[in-house]
Amino acid sequence: MDAVTGAVRRVAGPLVEIELDGGHTAAMSEQVLLGAARVPGEVVAIRGGVLTVQAYEYTGGLAPGDPVIPQHRPLSALLGAALLGGVFDGLLRPLAGAGDWLGGSGGAPDATPDERTWQFTPEADPGDPAPAGTRLGTLAVCTAVEHRVLVPPGLHENRPDPDGYGAPAQPRLDWIAPPGQYGQHAVVARVGGEPVALSERWPIRRPRPFRRRLDSVTPLHTGQRALDLLFPIAKGGSAAVPGGFGTGKTVLLQQIAKWCDADVIIYLGCGERGNEMAQVVDEISRLRDPRGGGRLAERTVVVANTSDMPMMARESSIYVGACVAEYYRDMGYDAVVIADSTSRWAEALREFASRSGALPAEEGFPADLASALAAFYERAGTVQTLGSGRGSVTVLGAVSPPGGDMAEPVTVHTERFVRARWTLDRDLAYARHYPAVSWAASFSRDAAALAHAAGFGPLRERLVLILARADRLADLVDLVGISALPAEERMAVLAGRLVREGVLQQSALSETDGYSPDRKTAALAEAVLAVIDRCFAVARAAGPVPVESVDFGPLLRAREQAGPQDVAVVEQCRDTVLAALDALAGGEAPR
Amino acid sequence: MNTQADTDTNTPANTDTNTPAAAAVGTAVGTAPGTNWPYLEYTGVDSLRGPLMVVSGVRGVGFDEYVRIRGQDGELRYGVVAEVQEDLAVVQVLEGTGGLDPAGTRVAFSGTPLRIPVGLGWLGRMCDGRGTPVDGGPPVMGSRTAPVAGRPINPTRREPPSEPVLTGVSVIDALTTFVRGQKLPIFSVPGLPHLELATQIAGQAAAGSQPFCVVFAGMDLTHADAAFVRGALEERAAVGELILLINTSDAPVLERIMTPRIALTIAEELAFVHGRHVLVILADMTSYAEALREISAAREEIPARRAYPGYLYSDLAGIYERCGRIRGLPGSVTVLPVLTMPGGDITHPVPDLTGYITEGQIVLSAETAARGIYPPIDPLSSLSRLMRNGAGPGRTSAEHLPLAAQLLASLARARQVRDLADLIGADSLSRTDRGYLDFEDAFYKLLVDQRRTENRSLADTLDRCARVAFTLPRSELTMLPDRMLPAGLPSGKEQERK
Ligand SMILES: Nc1ncnc2c1ncn2[C@@H]1O[C@H](COP(=O)(O)OP(=O)(O)OP(=O)(O)O)[C@@H](O)[C@H]1O
Ligand SMILES: [Mg+2]
């Protein structure tokens, strides 16, 4: 595998052209190692005898004539028990054991080998039919999710087939290892003559197979009221978070990573800040898992490709993330991939395309930007797995539009492929209304069905109407002043404010309110709606009374005062304000 | 090109026979002091265009290598390999190719990307944009060299920033505290005193009693500005706490591509090997980006927004991300880029992409400057995203964060009141609202406005914050815990009744 069979011909940044010696070939997507430093690369185009390679590390010093070692296998990631709790680079190589600085003259992170072992418990017997997806046993990896050892897909794919009969239609389990401690490369079974190890290599660009797609109306509970109430997504759905710098994309996605009710979280820092990565890793390793009692980090996989790391590994990191998610989906779990930011990935595509002389489309992006985006977001879905279980991959991607321009290509194309768009608004962020999710510019294609499934249906409808009406009136208020409006309209403006400040605002920094479970979300929304109803009633019944002068503070502070489970506190706050309204109306409760 | 049947006869002329041993020592210090030049010089200059030179017949030349060019008149220039293909190398010449004659030009390839000597020898030195001393002193030497391109920091080895860098500028220390290991830019517009502010910070900044130093990288500075910076920072240079690199406006434009990288390479060694907290000031990054655009255009690359190259984000990130702290190592690198927004447009690619990389921003306001206030910072559009990590109990003071939150919230309210007052007249305002106008006055007079040489202690700054806050009645100070409110403060309710 390590024979030099080619040479470098041209180097322009991450773009390297190579030629192979006579008689040697390489296929598209195959991995090659370049130069003495063995910079990993991938064949992305073949023209005549010249192969174009995308290099995944710094190519400084690489010269024409330098040796090339083809790997004769597609660029693939090592999937296995070592993933959970780990931090990896854009090619899924562990960063934990690597040095303070990466890749001297372009070498791979010199990670120390992972020597850990895990307890394997076999669950199948020799002689059992064992097609891909069959459960062979479990590994004790962490308390919150059980690591299931399955017969991997494609096990018999590359088997020589001299007789032309094809692989056995129903391979059987030949042998299975006894219970015991095993390392990640240990072989624990033999199926249809092929060894099954505790980890497998999977080509990152190839979606992992499943039986069929399922329709899913199970909401992904994010714990963020603005999303769960107004723009929910399904497990197996996808959402984009476009927003200018500083509007809160990272904070929002990190909140979801910490609190959503998926089983496994894949957090992908793609071309973003090193300090942010350090902080998120630090936080999840300290956070108690809301389920299971371990640490949240134990069921999280972090892929870190910060903006100072090689640009092309941003391109691969997106697929690596999807691959890892599918690996857990296939075990029957709900996995969530969070990519911050997909715009940096698209920039890597653009950079490479421009160096390879591809004809540019909009703003220099390659013409296949849309299909590349589709290929990523389409890896979301709820499926029936090969083992006949049910699993899902949810994809959430931040988009960083240049100049905050929502008409730029990445934002525009992404919208076509996602089920929801959570647009972050600069004005809201500037006014410190967090999360700055714009209710006017966001959408969720499955909102009605999901809100219904979560029991938020009627609440959602009312909130949406109230916000829309208040927005329509806002321009009028700017023009003529609030006092010039009739009572009914004044109440509508007030209602908008109460919904925004009492329900939608939610500080990620808050001890009590960073995460809002459904019960609290519903309680707050109901409390605010009850107060709004009473405001209208008082204004209608009691004539010209200054409803706005009532102290709504208790209601607006309820979200901070009530802990995640304190529904009673919310109700108290509501009652305080209702009483104040009644007092204003003259002591008697208006109807 | 593994078939080595290359007609070797094409290249023999390249061997430079005039300079045997001498060239090997050729450390024309400051220009490339970390480089050992080979004897071999190529003569096959095929074409010259703008900053680009194509050399043919080369062998074993690697991408990004540093290059020395000897003109027909013997004058030395330097460059970087931008692309290699078979026996051709495309070289970006830092000084441009003007005046070069392909026939007489000889080119040497260093065999590696540019390296410079690093170490304590830099402290107190004043240099041009390429690190050549201009202070009359000897060349800078070091026991080690380091590549100026830098290397990515393993994100799992980063220590999240904490602990402040205090600048002695009240409004910054109070409301947008710098944190060691952070990158926080100043966004300005031409004509505002951003260079003065950056220089003041360079002169005053400190990290408590810990060893501290400043690397100031000036790009595209006029001679007058360069003289101002040099004069203002003389004292700090004299005590060995400052390194000055200045690329003046008349120096080669492409030299600016190197300046911030050299500054950061010097800083990293001082921080992570010699344990200093280093503040790197990069002024002005807009000029840097223009130099990058110039090269990109010469290379006929496909432009992205406003003709800047598509890789501007990654290129800037490669500079700004070199800040930070590293687990188990002493010191820190904090980066303060200064940039002017052409036409005051914050969506211009340079401030926009910078904002996407940095951890907050400090925005200067022409309107505040027009009122004669220095530094003319707009606190409401400024934000230090890491402030919470660097300020508070044990770092600055327990009162700091509540005071800052209160001042910003009250200032926002004051802005609204001022807009209202413009509309309906100050007399029609409620008493509380009028209080906000007084608050705003006090905010700018007591806290923000400061002399250009005034170095305020943190205690003084926080005391001013409190005095400004307490111009408002108790009922308006909802973000301050009771223990912080002085006994005699009017409640606000009484005030309203009067
Ligand atoms: N939900 C929130 N609660 C409290 N503060 C928030 C919230 N969202 C954002 N912020 C504030 O806004 C700042 C910027 O947020 P964030 O880093 O998420 O922005 P971003 O959109 O990711 O920006 P960039 O594109 O530059 O990465 C945070 O440091 C924090 O101060
Ligand atoms: Mg972000």
Task: Report pLDDT digits (tens) over A456-508.
Answer: 989 999 999 999 999 999 888 777 777 778 889 989 999 999 999 999 999 99
CA distance B361 to chain A (A): 10
Chain B 313-342, CB below 8 Å of chain A: which residues? 313-314, 317-318, 321-322, 324, 326-327, 329
- The reply to whether A336 falls in a domain is yes
Write out the residue range of the structural domain in which residue A276 sits.
212-449
Task: Tell me if A246 and B65 make a contact (CB, 8 A cut-off).
Answer: no
Q: Which residues contact B483 (CB under 8 A, 6 or more apart)?
A: none
| Residue A499 neighbours by CB under 8 Å, 6+ apart | A463, A466, A467, A470, A528, A532
Q: Are B375 and B171 in contact (CB under 8 A)?
A: yes
Residues of A with CB below 8 A from B158's CB? 274-275, 277-278
Please report the pLDDT score of residue A432 as a whole number.
Answer: 83
Q: What is the SS3 assignment for A37?
A: coil
Q: Compare A556 and A546 and report the one with higher pLDDT.
A: A556
What is the rounded CA–CA span in Å between residue B38 and residue B19? 10
**Is the same domain home to A498 and A443?**
no
* Partner-chain contact B63 A21, CB within 8 Å: no
Is ligand 1 within 6 A of the CB of residue B405? Answer: no
Computed on alpha carbons and rounded to an integer, the radius of gyration of chain A in Å comes to 28
pLDDT more than 70, % of chain A: 95
Instruction: Report the separation in Å between the CA atom of A246 and the middle of ligand 2, taken as the mean of its atom positions.
Output: 7
Let me know whether A484 and A362 are in one domain.
no
Subunit contact B155:A274, Cβ cutoff 8 A: yes
Residue B315 has pLDDT above 90, yes or no: yes
Mean pLDDT along residues A574-580:
94
pLDDT over 50 (residue A181): yes
Q: Quote the mean pLDDT of chain B.
A: 88
Indicate whether residue A479 lines ligand 1 (CB < 6 A): no
A312 pLDDT tier (thresholds 50, 70, 90):
confident
A172 within some domain:
no
Average pLDDT, chain A: 90
- Cβ distance A347 to B85 less than 8 Å, yes or no, reads no
> Mind listing the pLDDT tens digit for each residue in A119-143?
999 999 999 999 999 999 999 988 8
Instruction: Name the residue in chain A with its Cα closest to that of B157.
Output: A100
Q: What is the pLDDT of residues B438-450, one digit of tens each?
A: 999 999 999 999 9
DSSP string, B222-282: -HHHHHHHHHHHHHHHHTT-EEEEEEETTS-TTHHHHHHHHHHHHHHHHHHTT--EEEEEE
Which one, of A499, A496, A394, lies nearest residue A444 by Cα? A394
Is A441 contained in some domain? yes
pLDDT tier for residue B93 given thresholds of 50, 70 and 90: very high
pLDDT at position A585 over 60: yes
Compute the distance from residue B412 Cα to the ligand 2 centre, in Å.
Answer: 25
Q: Do B1 and A400 touch (CB under 8 A)?
A: no
Tokens 């290892």, located at residue = A177
Mean pLDDT of B394-406: 93
Name which residue sits closest to atom 31 of ligand 1, judged by CA: B385
* Chain B from 287 to 316: CB within 8 A of any A CB: 301-305, 310-311, 313-314
Residue A109 near chain B (CB below 8 Å): yes
Domain count within chain A? 3
Instruction: Tell me the DSSP string of A430-483.
Output: HTT-SS-B-TTT-EETTHHHHHHHHT-HHHHHHHHHHHHHHHHHHHHHHHH-GG
Instruction: State mean pLDDT over B320-335.
Output: 96
Asked which of A125-129, A402-406, A478-482, B221-225 is least confident by mean pLDDT, the reply is A478-482
* Domain contains A238: yes
Determine the distance in angstroms separating the CA of A23 from the nearest CA of chain B, rounded to an integer.
14
What residue owns the CA closest to ligand 1's atom 8? Answer: A248
Burial class of residue A530 (count of CB atoms within 10 Å of its CB; 0-12, 13-18, 19+): middle
Locate A421 and state its tokens: 């768009």
* Average pLDDT score over residue span A305-325: 92
Question: In Å, how far is A191's CA from the nearest CA of chain B?
Answer: 38
Pairing status of strand A173-176 against strand A187-191: antiparallel
Taking alpha carbons only, the member of A90, A249, A439 closest to residue B355 is A249
Chain-chain contact of B154 with A101 (C-beta, under 8 angstroms): yes
- Tell me which residue of A56, A341, A87 sits closest to B154, measured CA to CA: A87
Q: State the maximum Cα–Cα separation within chain B, in Å, rounded to a whole number.
A: 101
Residue B247 near residue B304 (C-beta atoms within 8 A) = no
Domain segments of chain B: what residues? 2-113, 117-385, 400-497
Structure confidence at residue A1 as a pLDDT band (50, 70, 90) = low
Ligand 1 centroid to B359 CA: how many Å?
Answer: 10
- Same domain, yes or no, for A318 and A433? yes
Q: Are strands B186-188 and B360-363 parallel, antiparallel or unpaired?
A: parallel
Q: What six digits make up the tokens of A235? A: 């497990």
Residue of B nearest to A312 (CA): B314
Asked if B84 contacts B198 with a C-beta cutoff of 8 angstroms, the reply is no
Q: Give whole-number Cα distances, B153 to A104, A553, B325, in Å.
A: 11, 47, 10
A411 and A468, same structural domain? no
Please indicate if any CB of chain B lies within 8 Å of the CB of A586: no
Answer for the pair A288, A322: CB distance below 8 angstroms, yes or no.
Answer: no
Asked whether residue A467 falls in the same domain as residue A326, the answer is: no
Asked if A46 and A4 touch (Cβ cutoff 8 Å), the reply is no
Last residue of a domain, one of A41, A74, A107: A74
Distance from CA of A176 to the nearest CA of B (A): 37
| Residue A219 scores a pLDDT above 80 | yes
Is the pLDDT at B15 greater than 50? The verdict is: no
**Of the residues A224, A225, A250, A406, which should be mutated to test ligand 1's pocket, given the most ligand atoms within 8 Å of the CB?**
A250
Q: How far is A125 from chain B (nearest CA, A)?
A: 42
Instruction: Tell whether A127 is covered by a domain.
Output: no
- The arithmetic mean of pLDDT across residues A155-164, rounded, is 60
Q: Where are the beta strands (DSSP E) in A280-348?
A: 300-305, 334-340
ipTM: 0.88
Does ligand 1 lie within 6 Å of residue A342's CB atom? no
Q: Do B201 and B242 contact (CB within 8 A), yes or no? A: no
Selected residues 139-198 of chain B with any CB under 8 Å from a CB in chain A: 147, 149-161, 181-182
Partners of A309 on chain B (C-beta within 8 Å) are 152, 155
Residue A540 contacts by C-beta under 8 Å, 6 or more apart in sequence? A487, A488, A590
- Crossing angle of helices A342-355 and A409-417, in 10° steps, is 120
Half-sphere exposure of B225 (CA within 13 A, CB side): 22
Instruction: Show which of A386, A419, A449 is a domain's final residue.
Output: A449
Q: CA-CA distance, A81 to A142, in Å (whole number)?
A: 10
In this prediction, residue A166 has a pLDDT band, given cuts at 50, 70 and 90, of: low
Give helix B431-442 / helix B458-469 axis angle, nearest 10°: 160
What pLDDT score does B493 carry? Answer: 52
Percent of chain B with pLDDT over 70: 92
Q: Whose CA is nearest to atom 24 of ligand 1?
A: A245
pLDDT surpasses 60 at B9: no
- Interchain contact, A275 vs B359, CB within 8 Å: yes
Run of H or E including A5:
none
Give dist(CA A240, CA A398) in Å, integer: 6
Is residue A310 within 8 angstroms of chain B, CB to CB? yes
Lowest mean pLDDT among A71-80, A308-317, A550-559, B485-494: B485-494
Ligand 1 atom nearest A436 alpha carbon: 8
Q: Is residue A10 part of a domain?
A: yes
Q: Which atom of ligand 1 is nearest to the CA of A508?
A: 3
Using the 8-state DSSP alphabet, how is residue B303 labeled? Answer: B
A468 and A357 in one domain? no
Is residue A546 very low, low, confident or very high in pLDDT (cuts 50, 70, 90)? confident
Ligand 1 site-directed mutation target among B184, B385, B388, B408, most atoms within 8 Å of CB: B385
Indicate if A493 and A445 belong to the same structural domain. no
Residue A249 and residue A358 share a domain: yes
> Do residues A299 and A424 share a domain?
yes
**The tokens 């990993």 sit on which residue?**
A40
Strand pairing category for A420-421 and A443-444? antiparallel
Of all residues in chain B, the one with the smallest CA distance to A426 is B381
* pLDDT greater than 90 at residue A249: yes
Band of pLDDT at residue B234, cut at 50, 70 and 90: very high
| Atom 16 in ligand 1: residue holding the nearest Cα | A248
- Residue keyed to tokens 């759905």: A237
Say if A96 is an interface residue toward chain B (CB within 8 Å).
yes
Instruction: Report d(CA A241, CA A339) in Å as an integer.
Output: 10
Percentage of residues in chain B with pLDDT exceeding 90? 72
Asked if residue A188 has pLDDT above 90, the reply is yes
Q: How large is the average pLDDT for residues B193-197?
A: 97
Q: CA torsion A184→A186→A188→A189, rounded to 10°?
A: 110
Boundary (domain end) residue, out of A18, A44, A74: A74
Q: How far is CA A132 from CA A110, A168, A268, A392, B34, in A?
A: 34, 12, 28, 18, 58
Longest dimension (CA), chain A: 97
Check: CB of residue A155 under 8 Å from CB of residue A132.
yes
Nearest ligand 1 atom to the CA of A424 is 21
Distance in Å, CA A398 to ligand 2 centroid: 8
H/E stretch holding B221:
strand B212-221
| Maximum mean pLDDT: which of A344-348, B13-17, B302-306, B424-428 | A344-348
pLDDT grade for B8, boundaries at 50, 70 and 90: very low
Q: Is the CB of A430 under 6 A from ligand 1?
A: no
- Contact at CB, B347 and A306, closer than 8 angstroms: no
Q: Å from B16 to nearest chain A CA? A: 22
CATH number of B117-385: 3.40.50.12240
Distance CA(A524)–CA(A518), nearest Å, equals 10
Half-sphere exposure of A123 (CA within 13 A, CB side): 14
Which residues, 6 or more positions from A553, have their beta carbon under 8 angstroms from its beta carbon?
none
Residue A405 in contact with partner chain B when CB distance is under 8 A:
yes
Local confidence band at B479 (pLDDT 50, 70, 90 cut-offs): confident
Q: Is the pLDDT of residue B415 over 70?
A: yes
- Nearest Cα neighbor of A517 from A216, A249, A292, A228 is A228
Residue B492: band (very low, low, confident or very high) from pLDDT cuts 50, 70, 90: low
pLDDT at A112: 63
Min Cα–Cα distance to chain A from B349, Å: 7
Rounded mean pLDDT, A535-555: 83
A80 part of a folded domain: no
**A433 with A562, same domain?**
no
SS3 call for A129? strand
pLDDT digits (tens, 9 = 90+) for B117-162: 999 999 999 999 999 999 999 999 888 999 999 999 999 999 999 9
In a domain, A236, yes or no: yes
CATH code of A39's domain: 2.40.30.20
> What token pair was written down for A570?
């919310």
Q: How far is CA A40 from the centre of its chain?
A: 26
A471 and A425, same domain (yes or no): no
Q: CA of B15: how far to CAs of B39, B80, B108, in Å?
A: 7, 21, 10
For ligand 1, the distance from its centroid to the CA atom of residue B159, given in whole angstroms, is 20
Q: Do A43 and A67 sit in the same domain of this protein?
A: yes
Structure tokens at A311: 């640009």
User: If you average pLDDT over residues A548-566, what whole number do you get?
Assistant: 87
The pLDDT, as a whole number, for residue A352 is 85
pLDDT over 70 (residue B395): yes
Q: How many CB pairs under 8 A join A and B?
A: 198
* Residues in A 11-70 with any Cβ partner in B closer than 8 A: 11-13, 17, 19, 21, 58-67
Alpha carbon distance A304, B154 (integer Å): 9
- Whether domain B2-113 has CATH 3.30.70.270: the reply is no
Q: What does the alpha-carbon distance between residue B31 and residue B20 come to, in Å, rounded to a whole number?
A: 20
